[in-house]
Structure 1
Amino acid sequence: MNPHEHPELDAFLASLERGRLLSGTVAAIEQFGVFVKLDDGPDHPSFPGVGFISPPELSWRWISSTSEAVEIGQRVTAEFLQYDTWNMEARLPLRATQPDPFQAFADDVTVGQELRGRVTKLVPFGVFVEVADGINGFVHKDDFTAEPTQVGEELAVVVIEIDREQHRLRLSAR
């Protein structure tokens, strides 16, 4: 898309500063992201909204579908991340305005601590275990005494690593 063909939209997007809060209404939900019609600024010439939220930026929690995080017509407020000059849209990380549950969890847990959890996903190299609401850790297949066989199975696990930056929790089930 050529910014010169849409000078009002280009000027609006170029004027935005990283971290500015923008509000609007969810206009469309697609598997690849969510379009937001912003309260301020012009309409987009091709998309249902000038704001765009990619799936990883919708929520701190794991979601299998964008429609799990928002619904059409919902009011949202998000921080401006960047001006996507290719699509002429404002990239909005919605989760940046929400508390990060992983950090709160990491404040209360220590390496070596035993937890109980429920298997949420089986993969060839291990399993994911939900140890708190929306907090999943990973148990590598080498860290089992007896590997779980189904989703929903309860496990006793031990925290072996907490990576706050990557939001990763490594567990053992030995």
Structure 2
Amino acid sequence: MRAVQVGDIVSGTVTHVGRPRGAAVKLDGRLGLVSADIGPLDVSWGHRSDEAVQVGRRVTAEVIDVDDERKGIGLSLAATENPELWAFLKGLRPGDVLSGEVADIQRFGVFVRLEDGPPHPVNPFHPWAVS
């Protein structure tokens, strides 16, 4: 799978939508032979999942994982919908200190409205809550 690397932008068609997996995508060209998924947290930060991915919909996403052993590719639709935010988040490093306010608490985690960086959804499961 040397034809694709983390950070590449690829396109394809959604072939399956399901929980908890997110969505399966048949990529264009030679990559169409490789399994590709958009995980549930990477579907969309600005649209409800059922609006963002539907079987038959064409998508453009960033490659966030290449698993040679599994022969699979992990994709993020959210990365291509929010390139400025994605670039900001990728630039963060362990130990960076950011300021913010707790915006939402769920049983699986806490969402923080950051003071730094571009506007962002405070909880990707509730996209109407954008700071």
**TM-score bracket relative to the smaller structure:** 0.5 to 0.7
**How does 1:63-82 map onto structure 2 within 5 Å?**
63=48, 66-82=49-65
Aligned match of 1:17: 5
Shift of 1:14: 2.8
SS of the equivalent of 1:67 reads helix
Higher relative contact order (CA 8 A, sep 6+): 2
- Please report how far the alpha carbon of residue 167 of structure 1 lies from its aligned counterpart in structure 2 after TM superposition: 6.2
Sequence identity, in percent? 28
Question: 1:138 is matched with which residue?
Answer: 104
Matched with 1:41 is 30
**Aligned 8 A contact 2:12 2:27 in 1:** yes
- Indicate how the Cα distance of structure 1 residues 16 and 28 shifts in structure 2: closer, same or farther if over 3 A, else same: same
Asked if 2 retains the 8 angstrom alpha-carbon contact of 1:79 and 1:94, the reply is: yes
- For residue 101 of structure 1, report the CA deviation from its aligned partner: 9.6
- Unmatched 5+ residue regions in structure 1? 1-12, 104-110, 112-127, 129-136, 140-160, 170-174
Q: SS where residue 29 of structure 2 aligns? A: coil
**Given the two structures, how large is their TM-score scaled by the length of structure 1?**
0.46
Q: Of residues 43, 51, 62 in structure 1, which corresponds to 2:36?
A: 51
Instruction: Say how many residue pairs are matched.
Output: 100
Unmatched tracts of structure 2, length 5 or more:
87-99, 106-111, 124-131
CA–CA separation in structure 2 for the residues paired with 1:101 and 1:14: 27
Who wins on radius of gyration, i.e. which is larger?
A: 1
Asked if 1 retains the 8 angstrom alpha-carbon contact of 2:6 and 2:66, the reply is: no
What does the per-residue CA deviation read over 1:127-172, in whole Å, with 9 as the maximum and x for residues that have no partner? Answer: x9xxxxxxxx338xxxxxxxxxxxxxxxxxxxxx742579659xxx
Q: Distance in 2 between matches of 1:67 and 1:162?
A: 24
Q: CA RMSD in A?
A: 3.6
TM-score, length-scaled by structure 2: 0.58
2:45–2:121 Cα contact (<8 Å) kept: no
